[in-house]
Amino acid sequence: MGLRKVNAVVVGAGAGGGIVAKELAQAGLSVVLLERGKWYTAFDCRKDDLRNQRNSTLGNAFGPDDERDPRVVVDPSGWERIVRGSDGEYQNNAACVGGGTLSYGAMAWRYMERDFRMRSAYGAVAGSTLEDWPISYGDLEPFYEKAEWEIGVSGDESGNPFKSPRRKPLPMPPLAPTREHLILKPAALRLGLHPFDIPMLRNSVPYGGRQPCMRCRWCVGFACEVDAKCGTHNTVIPKALATRNCELRTGAMTKGILTDERGRVTGVAYFDSDDRLQEQPADLVVVSGGAIESARLLLNSRSRLHPNGLGNRYDLVGRNLQGHTYAGANGLFGEVVYDDIGPGASIAICDYNHGNPDLVGGGLLANEFIRLPYQFVGHAPNNVPRWGKAHKDFMRHAYRRSIAIRGPAQEMPVFDSRVQADPVVKDYWGIPVARLSGGRHPHSIEVGNFLAAKAEAWLQEAGATYTWKSLPGPGLSAGQHQAGTCRMGKDPQTSVVDPYCRVHEHDNLFVVDASVHVTNGGFNPVLTIMAIAYHASAGLLRGWKGGGAQ
Amino acid sequence: MKARTKYLVVAGAIVLLAPIAATVYYETGGGTGCASCHEIQRSYDQWAGSTHRNLSCGSCHGDAFTLDPAFHLNNFQRLVGHLSGRISEPILLRQPDLPEMLARCQKCHRQEFADWQSGPHASTYSRIFLDRKHNASEALEDDCLRCHGMHFQGGIRDLVSPINTAGPWRLRAPELANLPAIPCLACHQIHAHGAPLPRPAIPAATPGPKQELFRPSLALFDRRNQLHFAVRLLPLPEMRDHDRPVKISPDPRQALCYQCHAPLATNQVGSGDDRTAIGVHEGLSCLACHLKHGQQTRASCATCHPRLSNCGLDVETMDTTFKNVKSPHNIHFVKCADCHPRGVPSKPGARRRALPFSEATFTRR
Amino acid sequence: MPVRLLVTNRAKTPRRKFLGLVATAAASAATISCGGSRRPWRFLSTDEALTLSAISERIIPTDQDAGAAAAGVVAYIDRQLNGPYRRFRKTYREGLLAIDNASAARFSRRFAELTAEQADQLLNELEGTKPRFFQLVVAHTMQGYYGDPRHGGNTDAVSWRMLGVPTVPIRGRWKYEKPPWA
């Protein structure tokens, strides 16, 4: 429909898409970056504790819209219902420029060497599609480093003997320790554990032309007012735009990937911000919508030659949807431990990521981000009444005297935990919505329970007078750590993309986000998504022979 | 077609007449009319118990004779919102309302307004946001708007372009250029609870026990909440000079100063934008020296010091400003030892003179 | 069903919407003096607000610190019932009526007139018999009390001050040009 052909169209301006757009634009390719959401500022949320990315009680602050983008969720008993963007079951990640990186907590973990070869390390797990990655930690190491230095990471891993080998240190020192940090560190050492400062995509000193963290209490879930949190929206995307080779179009909802009569990808069709259907021709299409929306887009891109969607010859797109099984414990202390110094999360251990007796994998444990007052209501132990004077007394006494430790247990991928295109329900633009079904593998819950016990022991050693666990349930997990739906592999019959994120049957179609994760580590995934985006961009550019004829 | 024209004419007439009709209705009955729309009830109740209760709604908010079409359009939109059940609540002042408010404040508070206008807090959007020296050394960010332009409805990207250290910078809304970035409403809540000020008060030259210390309207406009928080609700920091706790005056008005002239999270004296006094002036309230609206400080020295200081120096000609990096007597941290490195000589018969006000003056409510 | 709803939204043109608004305005212009009612609530009736206030006050009672009623929890809920919680309007209308009916049946009085003990007794029963509505009110009361003041509750940040969380925290920013004494 008359839009000028470009070299590449990137769908989704989040952690993966922002980086690919910048890498391609800097290499001289013409790029169109499509984002269904807006480019928000901190004013759009203003630290609203009931309407943010972590607490969507009154709606999503950073998209998607409650009315326009429903999903269908099928629970294990087969009961299905339509959910809105701000419902928990929606498994939302933000829909905006920067994606989750605008409002995340910003932990910047490298996966460990063993996280890339879970199958070889632990063997097969019944009921799980646990598999090795086709690339190793060593393949990604230079790209982890690039992400750390280009986007910006602070922290100090020197106390972590389990860390993967690195060539270059982190570019920024950690933030000064909080009161919780100073309580938890000696306790961990007494237990023979190895505590250290969490690496974070957050400025602790001026970096990248932006200020350091001012240490307010509203961090995870909120856009940063001093721009200290490093996301793609304030690093690579402005750089991509500055090349003048990249055009960002917001409010652009991609409908489908276009193919010609021979099945070759030729561009995308999308609804622009005025809801007009546009066709953007391109030499390459990069899908970076997050594990749920990327899978949905491939599945919705049906044609005569691809009746089940693109890359889906073997019914693999949308499978193995996973996130993290969060578990942990809370401890009540005799003295005030709250110091109102954000972001809260500060100290971690990786002692339980691997090598746990009779368990496959594990996860890190770290102290929790500051829990805002309303959020804390839900943290009361079971023996505190849910209402009345006793609950108020608990809040008043415990709010500044409690520490929480949480960790993301690495999940065992489940083949039937999946994203499908719903056959009936359509969104505002008439596009079939994502249909989510499945649940956690029982072993993921076992690992979560194990981590919770370890968290509780750490709090007890730190002097907690009362502790209680927070344990995982069996439901589907995806949310902000959603991953796995377009698995990376060498064999086209068991995977969707190759090690450079190229969809097997298409030489010009890529999926670059956590969809390609074979397994999701016992860590927050964002730095790995970024590293993979740099890795995939490098592979793509190596094979780039210039744009085709118009 | 004909019916439709008629329909449109009627609609048009309503559009034109509704604001006037509404105003006439609202103006009768001393404001109770305003409050019959429940979204205004809260503001009305607050006003009825406020220092400004003797002023009619229209004298600040405009009425039928207001010429600004935007005012009537806005009212009409509110009416439509009200009738369709989609009301914006709370009703907030809009950025364009603020210049109007300045003139209204000025009508009665002339001296205060003049003081403010001649002081640093009357700085304009263009002076604050197009300051080349600042913008070239650090990029503007949303947090700037916490203390300057707090009523601006948008992010920094919506105000200034480009956001980088290269410039050249321009305001995206040029009409803001000469408007004050810290208007009256930054520190005053008009509807705050309190008794009306007696009219013939003669302002004292310097703060003393006879001067009213604590206007009820003192409140921070919190940009995040888009609400005012009264001074009594705001925290005073526990400042430290390295490890030593610093004595802070309990004057609650300072809580307002500290919101913007704030230390870093370490609460170290002099960190961030902090100006807490240590040394010989430790424990004085900000407002002991900084006269309220104009922030003029020079005359305040005479409140405590004789014209010639104990040392025979004329304190009023000393360079005491924090702006001069080289000043040896920066008033915020000058210590006895700065001038007397070998110890302060004792002066026979010298007694510490009582300050003209005491800490007891500042009892927190 | 929601699918169809989405489609209808789509079909609305801005012009039609505008005419609709004008019509609404016209129809109601005559009754511009919607006065008389003078209730501070948008959705709740005065009786409903009284009942809801009394329930919320049992959920977070007044002690040395303000309770839910003084913190403006009803204002919060009423405002949300006109916003994102529009979908709970029917639940509230029916739920509050049911509670008053139960109160009348048991104690021959409206809920707001019960003693604290009677109210707690009734609410404890309700927690078992009408768990959905009761849990909704508990959650909304907690939001109105502990949530951000901008949404109509937590007046003067009363709950945050109770918890000892500095309201409008003091946070300066790192400066490139440091003052000489820092």
Q: How confident is the model at residue B26 (pLDDT cuts 50, 70, 90)?
A: low
Residue C82 C-alpha, separation from nearest chain A C-alpha, in angstroms = 12
Burial pattern B140-173, b for ≥16 Cβ within 10 A else e, equals bbbbbbbbbbbbbebbbbebbeebeeeeebeeeb
Q: Is residue A226 part of a domain?
A: no
Q: Is residue A223 part of a domain?
A: no
pLDDT of residue C35: 44
Give φ, ψ of C20 to 5 degrees: -60, -40
Q: Is the dihedral angle over the CA atoms C33, C38, C42, C46 positive or is it negative?
A: negative
Q: How confident is the model at residue B363 (pLDDT cuts 50, 70, 90)?
A: very low
The span from the CA of B182 to the CA of A100, in Å, is: 34
Cβ of C147 and A50 within 8 Å? yes
pLDDT, greater one: B323 or A490: A490
Residues of B in contact with A44 (CB under 8 A): 155
Q: Is A454 within 8 Å of A352 (Cβ atoms)?
A: yes
* A82 & A113 share domain: yes
Query: Stretch A401-419: mean pLDDT, rounded?
Result: 98
* A257 & A161 share domain: no
Domain range for A419: 1-104+109-152+231-323+413-437+481-550
pLDDT at B364 exceeding the cut of 80: no
Chain segment B57-92, per-residue pLDDT in tens: 777 777 777 777 877 787 778 778 777 767 666 677
Beta bridge partners of A172: A154
pLDDT at C37 exceeding the cut of 60: no
Instruction: Please give the residue of chain C at the shortest CA–CA distance from A431.
Output: C3
Residues of C in contact with B148 (CB under 8 A): none
Residues of C in contact with A395 (CB under 8 A): 146, 159, 162-163
Q: How confident is the model at residue B54 (pLDDT cuts 50, 70, 90)?
A: confident
| CATH code for the domain of A139 | 3.50.50.60
Rg (CA), chain B: 25
pLDDT, greater one: B207 or B140: B140
User: H/E element holding A290?
Assistant: helix A290-300
* A296 & A380 share domain: no
The number of helix segments (H) and strand segments (E) in chain C equals 8, 0
Angle, to 10 degrees, between the axis of helix B110-118 and the axis of helix B97-108?
A: 120
Query: Stretch B109-129: mean pLDDT, rounded?
Result: 93
Nearest to C142 among A48, A226, A374 (CB): A374
Supply the mean pLDDT for chain B.
81
Q: Is residue A11 part of a domain?
A: yes
Query: Stretch A67-72: mean pLDDT, rounded?
Result: 96
Residues of C in contact with B242 (CB under 8 A): none
Chain segment A431-454, per-residue pLDDT in tens: 999 999 999 999 999 999 999 999
* A432 & A451 share domain: no
* A315 & A421 share domain: yes
Q: Which of A333, A335, A315, A330 is nearest to A371 (CA)?
A: A330
pLDDT of residue B25: 65
Helix, strand and coil in chain A, % to nearest 5: 25, 20, 50
Count of other CB atoms within 10 angstroms of residue C2: 11
* A238 & A196 share domain: no
The span from the CA of B154 to the CA of B94, in Å, is: 11
Q: Is residue A304 part of a domain?
A: yes
pLDDT of residue C15: 45
Residues of C in contact with B189 (CB under 8 A): none
pLDDT of residue B66: 73
The span from the CA of B141 to the CA of C173, in Å, is: 11
The span from the CA of C109 to the CA of C8, in Å, is: 46
pLDDT, greater one: B196 or A210: A210
pLDDT at B202 exceeding the cut of 80: no
Query: Stretch B161-180: mean pLDDT, rounded?
Result: 93
pLDDT of residue B33: 64
Q: How confident is the model at residue C28 (pLDDT cuts 50, 70, 90)?
A: very low
Q: Is the dihedral angle over the CA atoms A88, A89, A93, A95 positive or is it negative?
A: negative
Supply the mean pLDDT for chain A.
97
Query: Stretch A106-122: mean pLDDT, rounded?
Result: 98
- In order, the DSSP letters of A43-91 are GGTTT-TTSSSS--TT--SSS--TTT--EEEE-TTS-EEEE-TTSGGG-
For chain A, give the percent of residues with pLDDT over 90.
97
Q: How confident is the model at residue A1 (pLDDT cuts 50, 70, 90)?
A: low
Q: How confident is the model at residue B1 (pLDDT cuts 50, 70, 90)?
A: low
Cβ of B259 and C168 within 8 Å? yes
Q: How many CA atoms lie within 13 A of A449 on its CB side?
A: 8
The answer to whether C30 faces chain B, any CB pair under 8 Å, is: no
* A213 & A246 share domain: no
* A82 & A124 share domain: yes
The number of distinct structural domains making up chain A is 2
Q: How confident is the model at residue C2 (pLDDT cuts 50, 70, 90)?
A: very low
Give φ, ψ of A268 to 5 degrees: -135, 155
Residue A209 C-alpha, separation from nearest chain B C-alpha, in angstroms = 7
Cβ of C170 and B262 within 8 Å? yes
Last residue of a domain, one of A474, A496, A523: A474
pLDDT of residue B212: 53
Chosen for mutation from A204, A225, A235, A341 (greatest number of chain B CBs closer than 10 Å) is A225
Q: Which of C87, C8, C77, C89 is nearest to C49 (CA)?
A: C77
For chain B, give the percent of residues with pLDDT over 90.
35
Cβ of A428 and C9 within 8 Å? yes
Structure tokens at C119: 């109210």
The answer to whether B178 faces chain C, any CB pair under 8 Å, is: no
Q: Is residue A222 part of a domain?
A: no
Residues of B in contact with C150 (CB under 8 A): 224-227
Chain segment B234-254, per-residue pLDDT in tens: 999 999 999 999 999 989 999
Q: Is residue A225 part of a domain?
A: no
* A49 & A115 share domain: yes
CB neighbour list of residue B207: distance below 8 Å, 6 or more residues apart = B213, B287, B288, B291, B303, B357
- What part of B 215-274 touches C (C-beta under 8 Å)? 220, 222, 224-227, 229-230, 233-235, 237, 258-259, 261-265, 268-274
pLDDT at A328 exceeding the cut of 60: yes
* Total number of residues shown for chain A: 550
Structure tokens at A149: 């230095």
Last residue of a domain, one of A425, A455, A474: A474
* A516 & A377 share domain: no
User: ipTM of this model?
Assistant: 0.94
Count of other CB atoms within 10 angstroms of residue B310: 12
Residue C52 to residues B297, C55, C60, C80, C110: CA-CA distances in angstroms? Answer: 53, 5, 12, 14, 11
* A90 & A143 share domain: yes
Burial pattern A405-420, b for ≥16 Cβ within 10 A else e, equals bbbbbbbbbbeebbbb
Q: How confident is the model at residue B203 (pLDDT cuts 50, 70, 90)?
A: low
Residue A84 C-alpha, separation from nearest chain C C-alpha, in angstroms = 11
* A133 & A56 share domain: yes
Beta strands in chain B (DSSP E): 160-161, 170-171, 219-222, 227-230, 240-241, 244-245
Count of other CB atoms within 10 angstroms of residue A546: 8
Q: How many CA atoms lie within 13 A of B63 on its CB side?
A: 15
| CATH code for the domain of A381 | 3.30.410
